[in-house]
A and B are shown apart, each in its own frame.
Chain A
Amino acid sequence: MDFLAKIYITLKESVLDPQGTAVTHALHTLHYRTVSDVRVGKYMEVTLSAASTEEASTLIRGMCDDLLTNPVIEKYTYELVEA
């Protein structure tokens, strides 16, 4: 089966996000005054083949831990859909 994994990577809460801070300031300058915080992350789409949803899930977690994220500063969530 073919799967599409939608992976969302963000900095851990404990890690300051200077990009997010800069974007927050820019939004305030544009008068979006109700914005209290912005966190900038990454979004990836990985297409893969696997025998089952469980196997695809295991593979995606492996990829995230090995390469796609740095667990020292980042965390991730993902959605898996049959492609």
Chain B
Amino acid sequence: MKCAVIQFPGSNCDVDALKAIEETTSQPVDLVWHTARDLSSYDLIVVPGGFSYGDYLRAGAIAKFAPAMKEVEKAAADGRFVLGICNGFQVLTESGLLEGALRRNDSLQFRCEMTELVVANHHTAFTRHYAVGERIVIPIAHGEGNYYADEQTLKKLKKHGQIVFRYAKEHNPNGSVDDIAGIVNERGNVLGMMPHPERAIHSRLGSADGRRLFTSILEVWGETHAAIQS
């Protein structure tokens, strides 16, 4: 499985993502600059956390016009895997690859802490190594993670099982509607989430619960790949 992590000016979780993928899957990972015009050889593209373009205008608003984002759109359309973490989630909603938007936290505070998540859908390529309803601990670090979708969109997300992670009921850190922490697109190959699984890959980091997200992707990729070869 060939993986790429996109670096925008202002990304700051790019190397964490690279190390996490290497550590959990032993697959090759490249850091690619936001000006990259051909990412067609990558099976997984990560849009990492940080403050792309200084979060000017709105978080993710300017990053969506980077040449590399055209390649992310192609990957999504091809059924390859796209993972947007934190600022990456904001970029994916701004670019329309995922529904909804991320607003300022309702507390107006930047929240940097461990959060308890509930796995809402374990039938995705990103979550098959979790159990449905399982509680996992993954850190957050954001000021604008307050997910919003209108009633109609929310209904659609629920109907298609697109809500993948929720904050545990009593621990919603930002005011997200329906406690949403992460969603996939309808096809299930694009995941956006505010919490940072790449920062939770070893108990020494406070949690190893993020590991299975990466091992899930590798397993699904392996099966598809084997199916194509046979």
Q: Decide whether A and B are members of one complex.
A: yes
**Contact with A18, one of B57, B100, B105 (Cβ below 8 angstroms):** B105
A19 touches B (CB below 8 Å) = yes
CB interface residues, B 54-101, toward A, < 8 Å? 57-58, 61-62, 65, 93-94, 100-101
A73 in contact with B103 (CB, 8 Å): yes
Of A14, A16, A22, A70, most B-chain CB atoms within 10 Å: A70
Residues of B within 8 A of A73 (CB): 101, 103, 148
Dominant secondary structure at the B interface: loop
A19 with B108: in contact, given A67-B57, A73-B101 (CB under 8 Å)? yes
A19 in contact with B104 (CB, 8 Å): yes
A22 in contact with B175 (CB, 8 Å): no
A18 in contact with B61 (CB, 8 Å): no
A1 touches B (CB below 8 Å) = no
Of B108, B148, B150, B175, most A-chain CB atoms within 10 Å: B148
B61 in contact with A70 (CB, 8 Å): yes
A72 with B100: in contact, given A18-B105, A19-B108, A22-B108 (CB under 8 Å)? yes
Q: CB within 8 Å of B: which residues of A?
A: 11, 14-16, 18-19, 22, 67-68, 70, 72-73
The residue of chain A having its C-beta at the shortest distance from the C-beta of B151 within the complex is A14
CA distance A80 to B121 in the complex (A): 49
A70 in contact with B101 (CB, 8 Å): yes
CB distance from A19 to the nearest CB of B (A): 6
CB distance from A29 to the nearest CB of B (A): 16
14 A-B pairs within 8 Å (CB atoms) are namely A16-B175, A18-B103, A18-B104, A18-B106, A19-B108, A22-B108, A67-B57, A67-B61, A67-B62, A67-B65, A72-B93, A72-B100, A72-B149, A73-B101
CB distance from A78 to the nearest CB of B (A): 16
B107 touches A (CB below 8 Å) = yes
